Amino acid sequence: MAEVVTINIDGQNKPAVELTFEIIKEDWCEYELADGGRIRLRSTATKIYGLIDGEDKPLRDAMGDRIVSITHATQVVASG
């Protein structure tokens, strides 16, 4: 298992592990403004952490999905 780290979520420290990932696709969202200008943006994950319980097992929500915390960067380009 990966090294256990502590991350802060809403003011509470939670145990987690950093998950490795591969970027499959990163699309831009494009918006046309009423004045003819355009805004493009995309969000890129830089780190993904999986929260774990006291037994180092993945923490899951009520639907059974893994609970993760994502550190990301947002790029914005304006034109026009």
What pLDDT digit, counting tens, does each position of 34-80 carry?
Answer: 999 999 999 999 999 999 999 999 999 999 999 999 999 999 999 98
d(CA 21, CA 54): 24
Structure tokens at 6: 């502590």
Structure tokens at 71: 């550190």
Q: What integer pLDDT is reported at residue 2 of this predicted model?
A: 82
pTM of the complete model? 0.82
- Give how far Cα 25 sits from Cα of 13, 31, 44, Å: 31, 19, 10
pLDDT above 80 for 1 = no
Give the amino acid at 9.
Answer: I
d(CA 59, CA 9): 14
What percent of the chain is predicted at pLDDT more than 90? 95
